Amino acid sequence: MQSRIMSLVEVSSSVIVGYGVAVCAQIVVFPWFGLTVALHENLVIAAVFTVVSIIRSYIFRRLFERFRRETQA
């Protein structure tokens, strides 16, 4: 069984790596759509989505852990 803290650590590690990928993708993709965004703005946009992703992933991880415990009981 995974503790809540370890769930958060695992999810955060994954999402932090994704943060760098998101920033790079935004730098490449935004201009395709005519969006001109400064590097600082790209970093902030990616940070907002990173926080949302951590929260979403943590909630799903805990839900699935609860389902697992209920089915084993």
Distance CA 67, CA 1 (A): 12
For the full predicted model, state whether its pTM sits above 0.85: no
Distance CA 16, CA 45 (A): 14
Tens of pLDDT, residues 19-51: 999 999 999 999 999 999 999 999 999 999 888
Torsion sign across C-alpha atoms 23, 27, 30, 35: positive
| Radius of gyration from C-alpha coordinates of the chain | 16
